[in-house]
Structure 1
Amino acid sequence: MIKLHHLNKSRSKRIIWLLEELKIKYEIIPYQRDSLTFLAPVELKSVHPLGKSPVIEDDGLIVAESGAITEYLIDKYADGQFAPKRGSKEYVEYSQWIHFAESSAILPLLLKMFVAKDGCETNFLAGYADLETEKVIRFFDDSLADKRYLVADQLSGADIMMSFIVEIVKRNGEFDKYKNIAAYAQQLATHPAFIQAEHIELKAEA
């Protein structure tokens, strides 16, 4: 059985969603962030040296990094679902979104969060984070024009990966600014496994 090491308020919610979509047996091992530092507990380092989440265990393998976990699970368990055919134009597009989620998209959002938490006046970083965030989120929003899903008009691992970015946009109260992302969020919420993942995450945090 797959074990998912899940940290509250983290990227691993989307792995719960994917596991629910795949309808395979798994166990959640929950961890809670420190209430003061918001850091992951040291116990996670016994699973992976970086002490981060999500991490899965499957058939003796330990797999870290959300994108790698998503690709691993889809390749092994999806039976042709949730990813376009390898070698196709759609697969290249799919792969770019998988990696965009944890590279170009997330970096400026994290920088904004860190600047806000620090509370200091910056000479460069705050302005850079604002400009880069607008650039990448506007690109995401424009890419969703007249679309239900990111690739081939069907749910894929790309959508599951980008759902974390959607949550941040929602948390920042910017759905009015990014109408296509707001509509996309509503589309993702039509999937029963998405709703189930939210319930499971709340239960794991209780």
Structure 2
Amino acid sequence: MIRIHHLGHAQSERIIWLCEELGLAYELRHYTRDPVTLLSPPELKALHPLGAAPLIEDGDLQLAESAAIVEYIIVKHGGGRLKPGPEHPDYADFLYWFHFANGNLQPAMGRVMFLSRLQLPADHPVLASVRGRLDRIVALLEERLGRVPYLAGREFTAADIMSVFSLTTMRLFQPLDLAPWPNIRAYLQRIGERPAYRRAMAKGDPDLVPMLA
């Protein structure tokens, strides 16, 4: 059975959600952030040099990095579900949006978060640059979700599992006003109607009301 080491209010929610979507059995180990630093507690750092979460154990295997874990579980345990194959018309879109989450969206949110904590002037050129980059990324998501119901196309895939954290739970750390983005808000409402998503959030972060608006 897969063991998921989950840090509360973290990207590791992706792995719980994936297992719920695939109907896989798993053991959940929950960790709480340090109340001062908001980083991983010593128990997680003892398992991985970076104190990484998510982290899974599958037999003798230990694996970190959420994208790597998602791909591993889909191929090893999920029969390829939630990942269109090369013959699928949405294959290239799936690859793009799957990697977009950790290649663009989450890093942009993180850069704005860290620079905002420096209390720079609102017109500081570096802060303005990273905020502008995030605005363009969110606008791209808005445009995409105005044309298709899910990021890869007509079907829900792991690309959605990868991206939703940044649009929801990450806003605990870096606020993002979704009022100007109706397609993203409608998309998050569709996600919130998925039983597997509701189960995953209830199990992984029972103290958190999913930020779907």
TM more than 0.5? yes
Q: Match for 2:48: what amino acid?
A: H
Aligned to 2:211: none
Q: Distance in 1 between matches of 2:8 and 2:205?
A: 9
User: 2:199 aligned with 1:196, yes or no?
Assistant: yes
Q: Distance in 1 between matches of 2:54 and 2:170?
A: 21
Q: Contact 1:30/1:204 (CA < 8 Å) preserved in 2?
A: no
Match of 1:184 among 176, 183, 187: 187
Aligned to 2:31: 31
**Partner-residue secondary structure (3-state), 1:105:** helix
* Runs of 4+ that moved beyond 4 A: 168-171
Q: Distance in 2 between matches of 1:120 and 1:8?
A: 29
- Cα deviation, 1:26-56, whole Å, max 9, x if unaligned, reads 1111111111111111321222211121111
Change in 2 beyond 3 A, CA 1:48/1:204: farther
Q: Distance in 2 between matches of 1:69 and 1:57?
A: 10
Aligned to 1:85: 85
Change in 2 beyond 3 A, CA 1:30/1:58: same
Listed as ranges, the gaps of 5+ residues in structure 2 are 209-213
Q: Match for 2:157: what amino acid?
A: S
Q: Match for 2:152: what amino acid?
A: V
Q: Distance in 2 between matches of 1:203 and 1:90?
A: 34
Q: Distance in 2 between matches of 1:173 and 1:182?
A: 12
Aligned to 1:151: 152
Pick which of 90-99 and 168-177 moved more. 168-177
Aligned to 2:75: 75
Q: Distance in 1 between matches of 2:165 and 2:93?
A: 18
Aligned 1:1-206 pairs, distance under 5 A = 1-121=1-121, 123-167=124-168, 172=175, 174-203=177-206
Q: Distance in 2 between matches of 1:131 and 1:50?
A: 30
Q: Distance in 1 between matches of 2:95 and 2:150?
A: 14
Shift, 1:83, TM fit: 1.2
Q: Match for 1:6: what amino acid?
A: H
Count of matched residue positions in the alignment of Structure 1 and Structure 2: 205
Shift, 1:173, TM fit: 5.1
**Partner-residue secondary structure (3-state), 1:104:** helix
**Partner-residue secondary structure (3-state), 1:86:** coil
Q: CA RMSD in A?
A: 2.0
Change in 2 beyond 3 A, CA 1:86/1:61: farther
